[in-house]
Structure 1
Amino acid sequence: MRTYSLEILEKYRRIPTTTISDALDRLNIIGVITGLKPIIDDVKIVGPAFTIKEIHRKTNTSEFRVTEALNQAEPGSIMVFDVGGYTEASTWGGLASLSAKIKGIEGVVVNGAVRDINEIRKIKFPVFARAITPITGKSRIATVSINTQIEINNVRISPGDLIVGDGNGIVVIPYEKVLEVLKIAMEIEEKEEKVRILVMSGKPIIEAERELGTKI
């Protein structure tokens, strides 16, 4: 698994996904997965992607390989499930969340549905999903591949790409662009903090923008 230094992870942990999205825009990188919401409040996840591709089809339970994927995922990683946006059955639930938390998985992102949200909230495990349903994915969802490149909403995600998630959503930073995106994001944060200070001092925001030569 591709890894990142603690310094890089902590710097990204302090930057909101909104700022990272702006940095990605400057580099013309498509990296925001829209429509995924956190199950718990005040959540922040940062870590390398461990990807799982799934499809909806009538199948037997042996093809529903969530526990196999969980067994392969390494502590600190973020499990990213692409179920093609299928939300009529869940691919993740409470027991999987408990096991993932004990193992040290950073969080889970599901382009599909999850269930057992009360259990997930009780243990405060970070899960992002497109929908919630009580219906199991067993016999309805099949795992196609584990830890290969996937694509969600035109965002390509390779194993080891950096995933950052918070209350605003999920962003994906390609492995080879992590340092460049971080540099730009930190510059944006610095400028916005200067604007914030001027606004708090009573200056109209449009004047603060002009003074600092920036646009919020």
Structure 2
Amino acid sequence: MASPTDKPPFYSSCDVADALLTLEVSNAGYIPDIHLWSPQYKAGYTRIFGPAYTVKMVSVKDTESPKPDQHFVDAVPEGSVVCISQPADKVNAVWGGLMTTRAQVRGALGVVVDGRIRDLNEQREAGFPVFAKTTSIMGAGSFTRPTTLNQPITMQPNPNHPAVTIHPGDYIVADADGVVVIPKDMLARVEEQCKKSTAVDDQCMEALREGASIAATFKKYRG
């Protein structure tokens, strides 16, 4: 994980979203209203990039959905980003400090929760990247439980934005600006597009610093 003063590797969530829009990916893979809560709240240079390990949560009253053979955190693959979908009508947390401890031992890069998390100070003390809609003081046990692991999940934290489907192995880029999903078969194309667009942005930034106007700069470098 990058320190608060070191810019991280790979491209930013904004760069990736721009690339996906250029490549005509619907909604640019953007999952709105999910924010960085740890190790800082929407600040610093924390950025995670890695393949998704997906977890679907359901109500504890759901007796039809299958139950996993092991605790979902015990199954986290090394080098993955844990992605959890939570029923929108539940106000409990589905991720807490003990889960962070186990996930770090397993080698997880971070967690993205379409729902709520808790034990915020424990998350921050651990320095673990946590992205979520918001927090809760309520534990999961009486409200939600995991069902399918490493199966496609949908995230829709904003009802006015189409749901985003995350397949296991899709790439997650998440930082202080937000969270974006790269379809796993598009990674090379996205990297190439990011390389092109960030080079143009660098030229624009230099021109603006030298006193050029936005209009003239965009016309010259963006066409």
Give the TM-score of the pair, scaled to structure 1.
Answer: 0.86
Distance, in Å, in 2 between the alignment partners of 1:121 and 1:107 is: 12
Q: Which moved more, 1:35-44 or 1:112-121?
A: 35-44
Change (3 A) 1:26 1:80: same
Change (3 A) 1:86 1:80: farther
Residue 13 (1) aligns with residue 9 (2): yes
TM superposition shift of 1:66: 11
Identity %: 27
Letter in 1 for 2:204: V
Instruction: Select the structure that is richer in helix.
Output: 1
Task: Name the structure 2 match of 1:9.
Answer: none
Task: Name the structure 1 match of 2:35.
Answer: 37
Distance, in Å, in 2 between the alignment partners of 1:104 and 1:58 is: 32
SS at match of 1:48: strand
Any conservation in 1 of the 2:76–2:106 contact (CA below 8 Å)?
no
Letter in 1 for 2:31: I
Letter in 2 for 1:121: R
Out of 23, 27, 46, the residue aligned to residue 27 of structure 1 is 23
Letter in 2 for 1:70: V
Moved over 2 A (4+): 56-60, 63-67, 84-87
TM superposition shift of 1:136: 0.5
SS at match of 1:113: strand
Out of 109, 113, 116, the residue aligned to residue 110 of structure 1 is 113
Task: Name the structure 2 match of 1:81.
Answer: 84
Task: Name the structure 2 match of 1:209.
Answer: 218
Change (3 A) 1:116 1:66: farther
Distance, in Å, in 2 between the alignment partners of 1:213 and 1:32 is: 23
TM superposition shift of 1:213: 3.3
Out of 156, 166, 176, the residue aligned to residue 157 of structure 1 is 166
Distance, in Å, in 2 between the alignment partners of 1:138 and 1:110 is: 17
Task: Name the structure 2 match of 1:122.
Answer: 125
CA RMSD of aligned residues (A): 2.1
**Residues 24-74 of structure 1: CA distance to partner in whole angstroms, max 9, x if unpaired?**
1112213111110111222210100000011134479xx987971111111
Task: Name the structure 2 match of 1:173.
Answer: 182
**Residues 72-122 of structure 1: CA distance to partner in whole angstroms, max 9, x if unpaired?**
111110010001334510100011111212221000011110100011011
Distance, in Å, in 1 between the alignment partners of 2:20 and 2:194 is: 9
Unmatched 5+ residue regions in structure 2? 1-7, 157-162
Letter in 2 for 1:120: Q
SS at match of 1:73: coil
Unmatched 5+ residue regions in structure 1? 1-11
State the aligned residue count. 201
TM superposition shift of 1:123: 1.1
